[in-house]
Structure 1
Amino acid sequence: MKKLLLSLITVFVLVAGFTVQADDYSQTIDNFKSSPATKDFFNQAYGYAVYPTIAKAGVGIGAAHGKGLVYLHNKKVGKSSMTQLSIGFQLGGQVYSQIIFFQDKRSFDEFTSGNFEFSASASAVALTAAVQAQVGSSGISSSKGADSSSTKQNKASYHKGMAVMTLTKGGLMYEAVLAGQKYSYIAL
């Protein structure tokens, strides 16, 4: 049974990872821009990286992967990919979009230097509706509300020059894990 479940999750991650289309980037950026939490970031950020679809799954051991584009002053300058490995109590799968804002040239250069890894102290703010909470080395976020109009979101802020935000697309994932994220960058 465990092998079957692991096989199904692997297929889910692979299928979701290959579903990104060119127009998903502009749609994903529009989705993030529609959130009041990101308005100031888009207006003031030096640059950003956007990942339209990141697929995540796990049964004890988990993985997530997604491909994205990097923008400097709203112009595409590179390609990126994110890979996450995790271990701990986890079961399920989910798909989400992610954006990383770079506060200044230093943080942009750090990210685009090649292979960048987020430390355990990095946090992500999940721009989602209703009640949710997440704590782990892959992020800390929480919100409270009955629906999207009444949800009170934690304030997003830069940490070491970067701010990470996510939008859930679907799935169900239970987890209490230790995880690390690694990002690659290739200039266009």
Structure 2
Amino acid sequence: MKVLKSAITLVIIMMTFGVFAQNEKDQKVIDAAEKAKMHAEKMNIGIDQYFKNASGYVIFPNVGEGAFIVGGASGNGAVYENGTLIGMANLKKLDVGLQAGGQTFTEIIFFETEEALKHFKEGKYEFSAEAKAIALEKGVAANANYKNGVVVFVLPKKGLMADVSVGGQRLAYVPMNQ
């Protein structure tokens, strides 16, 4: 009986630590997302209107990408609905083509309507190879348009990458209450 109690206690401690560790990781992503949002708004590029008017958005503050013929990228982000944090997301990308190098960037995805945000929250969300991200530069955001209720902005951080490839991004959403 003592062994069973000890095993149960150990499992509870491990589960508690796992939740704590996950919450700590999520909090780091949330803090970085908030900093990325403030940085993007300070750039005076017109992105503040997207933050104000979108039904929701996802901020991936640190996406890492690397490639040599076959490439991949991944990142974790924070999901907001009407400006309120509602969950976390992760991004995975795999592509093949003429590419080499590595880079890090911030990616912000805006959902124009409640329907577009709902579609994202319902499960795995994928961008096709035709989806184009808009590099955040002065004046660019003000002239960007939604396509199928979604617009994607990228703010390069570090690195250099030559890329002529075909691939897509897969996004997953995890509500805060899980």
> Which range, TM-score by smaller chain?
0.7 to 0.9
Decide whether the 8 Å contact of 1:37 with 1:156 is kept in 2.
Answer: no
1:69 has 2:78 as partner: yes
- Deviation track 1:65-118 (CA, whole Å, cap 9, x = no partner) reads 000010011111111000000101111000000111111110001111110001
Instruction: Give the one of 103, 107, 111 matched to 1:94.
Output: 103
SS at the partner of 2:47? helix
Decide whether the 8 Å contact of 2:30 with 2:77 is kept in 1.
Answer: no
Instruction: Give the one of 33, 43, 50 matched to 2:41.
Output: 33
Aligned residue type for 1:100 = I
1:24 has 2:12 as partner: no
Decide whether the 8 Å contact of 1:51 with 1:69 is kept in 2.
Answer: yes
Instruction: Give the one of 83, 88, 94 matched to 1:79.
Output: 88
Identity %: 31
Instruction: Give the one of 95, 104, 107 matched to 2:113.
Output: 104
1:163 has 2:151 as partner: yes
Counterpart position of 1:10: none
- Number of residue pairs aligned between Structure 1 and Structure 2: 147
Counterpart position of 1:179: 167
Counterpart position of 1:55: 64
Relative to structure 1, is the Cα distance of residues 21 and 118 closer, same or farther in structure 2, using a 3 angstrom cutoff? closer
Distance 1:120 1:162 in 2: 15
Counterpart position of 1:153: 140
Distance 1:167 1:39 in 2: 14
TM-score normalised to the size of structure 2? 0.78
Runs of 4+ in 1 over 6 A off after TM superposition: none
Q: Superposition RMSD on alpha carbons, in Å?
A: 1.5
Relative to structure 1, is the Cα distance of residues 80 and 21 closer, same or farther in structure 2, using a 3 angstrom cutoff? closer
Distance 1:57 1:125 in 2: 19
State the structure with more CA Rg: 2
Distance 1:32 1:160 in 2: 23
Aligned residue type for 1:58 = A
Structure 2 unaligned segments of length 5 or more: list them.
1-27
Aligned residue type for 2:54 = A
- Deviation track 1:116-160 (CA, whole Å, cap 9, x = no partner) reads 0012332211014xxxxxxxxxxxxxxxxxxxxxx6637211010
Structure 1 unaligned segments of length 5 or more: list them.
1-19, 129-150
Distance 1:22 1:175 in 2: 29
Decide whether the 8 Å contact of 2:55 with 2:81 is kept in 1.
Answer: yes
Aligned residue type for 1:178 = V
